[in-house]
Structure formats: C-alpha cells, structure tokens
Structure 1
Amino acid sequence: MNWTPNPADKKPMHKQIQEYMKEKITNGEWPIGTKIPSQRHLAATFSVNRSTVVTATENLIAEGLLSGNKGGGTKVINNTWSLLAAGSHMNWSSYVEAGIYQPNSSTIRHINEAEFQRGIIRLGTGELAPDLLPSDQLSELFSGMKHRSVHLGYEHPKGNGELRQELAKHVKKRGIETSPSSILIVSGSLQALQLISIGLLPPGANILAEKPSYLYSLPLFQSAQMKITGVSLDKEGIQLSSLKNQHEKEKGTVLYTIPNFHNPTNVTMSEQRRQELLHRCEMMHLPIIEDDAYGELWFHSPPPLSLKAQDKNGMVLYLGTLSKTFSPGFRIGWVVGPEHVIERLADLKMQVDYGASSLSQWAAAEALKTGIYDNHVASVRYKLKEKSQKAQAILEKHLESLATWNVPSGGFYFWLTLHKPVSMGKLFKHCLDQGVLLNPGALYDHETSQHIRISFAYATLPEFEYGIKIVAKSLKNLYL
C-alpha cells in the first residue's frame, strides 16, 4: 500500500482510512477471505495512531464488510452491499492457500516490497547499482535499430541462434567447449533452476548444496516436494568429506554449487578442490548444477577453470546470466549441458513462457558481438574492486568490535559473522524501521543467528556508511 491519509483534508483521518479500505474491498482488490494486516501494521503504514485505525476498522465491521476475530485476525466477509444477504461467496483465499508453489518466507516478501520504497537503503540487494549499468551503451545500441531489421517474433525453442553462437564463443573464454545446440536461453538463472526442478528431477529428490547457500532462500524445490541437504563449506569450497557423508546418508540426487564468489559467503573454490570434487561426483554418479553468476566479477585475477570446463562425461549443467554483470532487467541467462538435456529443458520452457524476450536476446547478442559487454564488465570489475575496498574501511570503522568478515576478491558480498548470536527477525525489523534493508543470514542457513549478508554493489558509499551505522546501533541494542 503506497497510500496515506491527507492531514490537510477536512475529512477525519479515520474516515479517509475507512473509505480507502472500503474501496479496496468493493473493487475486489481485497476479495472475500482476505486477511487484513494487523492494526499495528496499518497504523505504521498510514503514519497514524493505532486508535485511528481501530475506529476505521470497527466502522467497517459494523457495516458488515469485515469480521474481527481475536484468534484469526480481521477478514473481509462481504465486498458489495448486495452480497450481505447472499448465501455463498467466492473465497479466493482458499485457492491461494491450495496453490502448488509455496510462498516466499515473510522476510523475503518484506525485502521484495521494501526494495521499491522511496528512501530505503539497500544493504542486501544482489544487483549492480544504477550507475554501474550500461545505460548509455544500450541507448546507442537501441538507437541503431532503425538502420537494420530486428526480429520481433517468437524465437527458436532453445533461444535466438545468434545469441547462442555468441555465448558459445563467450564461454570458450572460460574453458568451456560447447556448441549453440547445447545452449538454452532462459529468463535468468532462477528460471533455469525451476526448469531443472520440474523437468529433470523426480519428486522426493534430495538436492545437496553448500550450507549456507542462496538455494535455501528459494522455496521452488520444496514446492516440488524436494529436499535440500546442507554440505559443509570451508575456505577452499565444498568439504569433500561432508559431501561423501551426506550423499551416503541422504542419497543425494544432484549437487548444486556456486564455485566462484559464492553467494552468500564469497568463497571461491580452489583449483585442486574443483578437480577433487568433480572426480568424487563421478565416482558417486552425482550430477552437478554449477551456478556461475559471479564468475566474471573478479578483482585481481580470474578464478580457476569452471567445473564444466573440466567435465568430460557430461555430468555438469552450467548456468550463466547477464543479471549480475550487465542488466538484471534483460532477464537473460543460459544453461550449457548435454544436447538431449537441453532439448528437454527447451521443450519445458516453451510450455512455461514460449521463450525469453526476442528484443533482449537480440540486444544481448549485439553486446557480446560488438565488445560492448566485455568492455562494460572490465569497467565494472574495476569499480566494484574500488568500492569494496572503501566499504571494507567502513565496516572496520563501525563493526570491528561486533563482527568479523571475509575480504572479497570478487562478486558483491561481505559475509559477516557476529561475535554473539542475535534474533535475526528483530535485527531485520529494527534496521528496516530505520530505513535500512539487509539480508539476515537465516535466509541462507535457517539455523544461523550469527550471520548477515551485506552487499556493497548497490548502495552508494554514503548510504552504505549510514546503513552500517544503523546495523551497528541495532546490534548493540540487541546485545544489551
């Protein structure tokens, strides 16, 4: 809700709120069965006293539009005057609750909403800041469209042929030998994971993944009746002894890993560990999903060869994306894998959305072909390196007595380990109340109460310092 009552209006505040809520109900935005936010939440949203919300709510209850219940909250029971005497009503809430896919956690939903609130300082956002995006280069690229023919119809099931040709050249720089027929264009890595979950993995599959991991923040595997089992991580990457034990104990179906600038810990798997991991997975007949979203964002030297580059038996599905390096709004990612697997995933993608945007695919192909992409990424590396060093100094200034953290050699993140455990929920709320949005470590490891993922990629440095001051203040208050 982005509306607030107008204090200058002659109409009483509770009356304005009452009419606003009634409009939501009668327009069908809040259908029958909808649970109304708590009075405390509404009061904060509308910037009024709680008593004002109580008056508005009680009036709507008296009108027969809402029903108050101490145990179940306040719900919509009617949405037009003519329904007051009707015997049956359409209850969309029952349909919402019966949906196959599980909802995001409440924290994730709060983050997704708060990121678009004016004035919020985003310390958790995993994307490049607006000033690090190639806006000028893309404007020039699109302005040149009038001088040439651009295909705007549906694309091949595997994606634009020219883009797949350019990507085959692009991944070759990372040691991956493949052909366009073994590449699928997807709408970001997240869709690749969704297609894999519904197209390649059986119900009840057990996904082995680093713990902590980005994967724990996604309900899509659990929605498909699958399980995620954590594998221990050290400074060189996945611990092979932990992988072996968990595989034997839990019968893993597939391994998901982020070897380069891992999300959230920023660990980069060593070359020796990669070789050992690939050999171990071959022995266990355990296929690998390699997510390389951050691999090009190195600060000092490129990371070791990808697992896919060393894969001689078609065991690895390699995921890449433009979202972290070029443009999250393009919604362009890719999967490299055995051709028959790519054909299966391509068929599923056609069922899901009939292909990614043809315009985005054309622009991505042009950016790769003309060198715009490589030049942009080189610039981003330099700027992120500089920004990470300044962010490091800010952390040392305000959080050195409260936490420890890694020094990033690439990617977006600091993984903070707090000296004392705290309530992640309270920390998140306290910071958000002060206009600072962060990602609690519990999103990536449900058992932790001593970690925070801090991104230095999005916020400006003044915003970053203000946000870190709020985090420090919040931690000190929680430690008392």
Structure 2
Amino acid sequence: MKKELLYKIIAKEVSEEIRRGNFSIGQKITSLRDLAKKYHCTVETALKAYIELEKEGLITSRPRSGFVVVKAFKNQSKALAKVEASLLAPRDVLRHLLEMEGKSEIVGLGTALRTPKLFPLKSIFSEVGGRKNSFHELDSHYSYPPGDEGLRSEIAKRLRLRGMSADVDNILICQGATEALFLSLMLKTKACDEVVIHAPCFFGTLNCIETLSLRVTEFEGENLRTLEILFKTKRPKVFIIQCNFQQKTGLSVSEAFKKGLVKLCAKYNVTIIEDDAYGELGHSGEFVSNLKKYDSKDIVLSCGTFSKTLGPGLRVGWIFSSAKNINELIPLKLATTYSASAHTERAVELFLKNKSYSRHLRKINSVLAKNISTVSKILEKNLPSSVHISRPKGGFSLWLDLGEHIDSFVLYKKLMSENIAISPGFIFSRQSKYQHHIRINCGLELTIEVKRAIARVCELINQMSVN
C-alpha cells in the first residue's frame, strides 16, 4: 500500500463511521496519535486524513479539544442532542439548533416552528387538483422575475388592505423573506458598507450581513435622537428593522416611531430594509401598516413572506418597493435563484383569490393568541419574579430576560442534553448581547410533552437562579 494513498483510505473509513451515526455533533473523534497507532502510520498521515474530512465539512479542529464532528446525518440517534458542554462553542449554536430542531425526538421551543395543523396546505393544493389543465401548462415554464402577475396582484391587494399604496409593479416574488432581505442588501450595499440593525435581530438577517461582508452597528429601542447620532457618526447605507410582532420578542414599534424613522432615514439618505414577515399575525385581527405607508421618498424595501402564515415549505416571499427598485432587483434575482416555482405561485394565488386566506388568518391568529396566553401562564407560575416575560400582541414567540446571573448558553446546553431546544438570546446579535435572554416558540401544539418541556425549562432556570 502506497503511503501517499493511505490518508485517503483512513479518511474514507472515518467518514463512513460519522455517516453511520457513530459520532454526534460536537463529539470529539479519535485523537491523531491513536489514529496513527490504529493504522500503523505517522501522525502526519493521520492529520492529512482529518484535513480531508475538514474539507468535506464533517469535522473541525478545536483548540485543546482536537477534532470534533460538526455535521449530523438522518440516521443518528437521540444521542445527537447530548453534546458535551465543553465541546459546543457559542459560534456553533445556531447551526446546531437548526440541525437539531427538525428531529422528531427534539421538542422544538427554539426556532419558529409551528404545528402542521396550522397550515392549510391541503386546501392550497386541492386547487391544483381542480385545475390540472391550467397547472400542466406551467410544466414547461420558468416563472421569471418579477414573478407571476396574478400572485403579485393578490399580494398588492393584501397590502392595500393594510393601508399601503401597492400595485403589481411594486412586487418582486422571492423564495421566502430571507432571499428578499438578501437581494435588498445586495442592491443597496457593497462590501464593507455600514448598516444599522434594530436589535435583537433575526439571525437569518445577520447571516446575510456577514455573507456580504458588511459592517454592523446595533440599535435598540425607539429613541430617534440616539439613532440620529448613530447616523451622523456611522453614516450607514441601510437601516434594517422588523416593526410588526418581531420574531424574537413578539413586540411591535409604535406608529409614531415608524413615521419618525422614515423621516429620519430620508433626511440622512439611509435606505430602510423592513422585515415584515409577521405583519399579518396580529392576534386582534386588525390590519397593521408597514413602513411603506409613510414612504414618500422611495427609501423603503419591505420584505414579506407566506412562510409564517401558509407554511415555510412553500418558499413564497416578496419585496414591496418602488417600481424603480423592483426593476433594479430583477437582474439580481436572475443571477441568484433565477426563477421561482410557477406551480407554487399559482397555487398560492388561487388560495388568496377564493377568500380562504382571510378565514385562515383569523383561525391561526386565534390559536396563536391562546398558545401565547397558555405558555405565559405556565412561565409566570413557575419562574421567579425576577424573570421578565414579554407581552406580545402578535406572532408566536416569547422573549425572556433571565437576569444577569443566568447564562443562556449554559441553559441551552443543559436543555439540549434532555432533547429540549430553546433559542439563546445571543444568536440574535453580532455584538455579544442578550447573553441572559432566551426566546421560546409558542407555535407548537401544546401537547402534554410540550408542556412538560416548558415546565422543565422553568425547573432548570430556577436551579440556576439558586446556584
């Protein structure tokens, strides 16, 4: 056996072990010295094998820990969640959380999951069955940007109901709100530009910012004077905000702040990119405006989606902005995902047209309001008064300030070892904020198992409070 080929054989065999599920995410694999002994080779040859596995994205090197597994596979057991506390670094938490929450054994109180019962996918695709001929016509078509005109027209109608002036020429169809945010940032920034975000911020937005090599400053609250100082000192190109029923806290900013923000950004020539993914999830059922309502200078790009109302698997979102911005976004859309799904666009369009969507919104918002109320009562009953719990009027998340003595990273690892996922607050910041906060998702069906998991979250918080 040639020595120069041995490292490839070693890499293949270790790779097969990982893919069979013999190692969990964060678990330390065989040391270089022991691997060299096992294969009767030098440590240098063993290292070359592990470098191959790093290139495949299966393992990574950690100071004082050696090499650990960073990728999970579908045949791995419940042991995947039980990551050694000393091996899971804070920078790995988001990836770990997203990988784990899709597993059946995990109680998903972390990411924005909802029970499938809340999604009308059967009704949406029943339209396909009733109109097979019109859907077959789409089989050989791409849905080139700006997207299906009928769907854009229905989205514009929804926006007009909320008080905005919108037409088909103001809409670009995207594959979810994250793509909408990414394309908007691509249009309005270049590498090393400064952006200001309203914190806490959706981690998907933070990933977009990092991918585009942008500099970021975080702004909290609604003090426009403080924000103006930031604009003067940082001179940002873009301000990013989620105004309505924020994904992290469930809270909304005031109408006075919305008006003042648009006016301030126009004064300093700052583009606003708004994440309006939760704009139709108000528990009262009342229509709420987004920032385009106050935009007379064409500085706002508002990003929406049906992922939160109809289902994330549909991947139908949009950008709502001036016709000029939409036309400039089309080449970027063509250069990235090229087109959307013609069949999905048509199915969603028909669902919106037959008035089912409004009935569905009333149902889903009623359920989510009850869930928020139920989970809040469990938390209030079982947590110390020092823990502050948000009081949202929309969405399906609760934001908890645990106090400075409780580290959300430590809590995350303890809960994940028991197959319970929460979102530690620091994943919603790029400046190490919210270390003592967590987000709890209330979109799941509140089964006995889910209620027990929430109770267990309370137990651990209480234990950590005493210690």
The aligned residue for residue 146 of structure 2 is 158
CA distance in 2, matches of 1:256, 1:55: 45
Paired residue secondary structure (2:113): coil
The aligned residue for residue 170 of structure 1 is 158
Matched, 1:366 2:350: yes
Paired residue secondary structure (1:302): coil
Matched, 1:346 2:333: no
Asked if 2 retains the 8 angstrom alpha-carbon contact of 1:320 and 1:334, the reply is yes
Cα RMSD (Å): 3.4
CA distance in 1, matches of 2:10, 2:121: 38
1:21-78 residue CA offsets vs partner (Å, 9 max, x unmatched):
x9994389579xxxx89xxx9666799xx9xx76999467522689599xxxx85618
CA distance in 1, matches of 2:462, 2:41: 45
Post-superposition offset of 1:353:
1.7
CA distance in 1, matches of 2:344, 2:41: 46
Post-superposition offset of 1:383:
1.1
Asked if 2 retains the 8 angstrom alpha-carbon contact of 1:65 and 1:77, the reply is no
AA aligned opposite 2:178: L
Identify the range of structure 1 (197-206 vs 249-258) with the bigger mean alpha-carbon deviation. Answer: 197-206
Q: Does the C-alpha gap of structure 1 residues 29 and 358 become closer, same or farther in structure 2, counting only changes over 3 Å?
A: farther
Q: Does the C-alpha gap of structure 1 residues 417 and 64 become closer, same or farther in structure 2, counting only changes over 3 Å?
A: same
Paired residue secondary structure (1:384): helix
Point out where structure 1 has 5 or more consecutive residues left out of the alignment: 1-21, 80-88, 98-103
Matched, 1:92 2:22: no
Post-superposition offset of 1:195:
1.4
CA distance in 2, matches of 1:397, 1:249: 45
The aligned residue for residue 13 of structure 1 is none
1:341-400 residue CA offsets vs partner (Å, 9 max, x unmatched):
212211111111211111111111111111122221111011111121111111112224
The aligned residue for residue 279 of structure 1 is 263
Asked if 1 retains the 8 angstrom alpha-carbon contact of 2:397 and 2:441, the reply is yes
- Which residue of 320, 325, 331 maps to 2:304? 320
Matches within 5 A, 1:368-387: 368-387=352-371
Matched, 1:63 2:50: no
Matches within 5 A, 1:238-253: 238-253=222-237
Q: Does the C-alpha gap of structure 1 residues 208 and 310 become closer, same or farther in structure 2, counting only changes over 3 Å?
A: same
Asked if 2 retains the 8 angstrom alpha-carbon contact of 1:24 and 1:30, the reply is no
Post-superposition offset of 1:422:
2.3
Matched, 1:452 2:438: yes
Q: Does the C-alpha gap of structure 1 residues 44 and 338 become closer, same or farther in structure 2, counting only changes over 3 Å?
A: closer
1:102-124 residue CA offsets vs partner (Å, 9 max, x unmatched):
xx941111011101222110111
Post-superposition offset of 1:215:
4.8
CA distance in 2, matches of 1:315, 1:358: 30
AA aligned opposite 1:77: A
Asked if 1 retains the 8 angstrom alpha-carbon contact of 2:109 and 2:442, the reply is yes
Q: Does the C-alpha gap of structure 1 residues 267 and 63 become closer, same or farther in structure 2, counting only changes over 3 Å?
A: same
- Which residue of 401, 414, 420 maps to 1:417? 401
Post-superposition offset of 1:192:
1.3
Asked if 2 retains the 8 angstrom alpha-carbon contact of 1:203 and 1:224, the reply is yes
CA distance in 2, matches of 1:147, 1:304: 38
Matches within 5 A, 1:77-116: 77=49, 92=55, 105-116=91-102
The aligned residue for residue 109 of structure 2 is 123
Post-superposition offset of 1:288:
0.9
The aligned residue for residue 464 of structure 1 is 450
Identify the range of structure 1 (22-31 vs 131-140) with the bigger mean alpha-carbon deviation. Answer: 22-31
The aligned residue for residue 6 of structure 1 is none
Matched, 1:227 2:203: no
AA aligned opposite 1:107: V
Post-superposition offset of 1:230:
0.9
1:119-176 residue CA offsets vs partner (Å, 9 max, x unmatched):
1101112132111111331242232132544413101321111111211212111122
AA aligned opposite 1:142: V
CA distance in 1, matches of 2:179, 2:204: 16
Asked if 2 retains the 8 angstrom alpha-carbon contact of 1:121 and 1:459, the reply is no
Q: Does the C-alpha gap of structure 1 residues 402 and 168 become closer, same or farther in structure 2, counting only changes over 3 Å?
A: same
TM-score (norm 2): 0.82
The aligned residue for residue 244 of structure 2 is 260
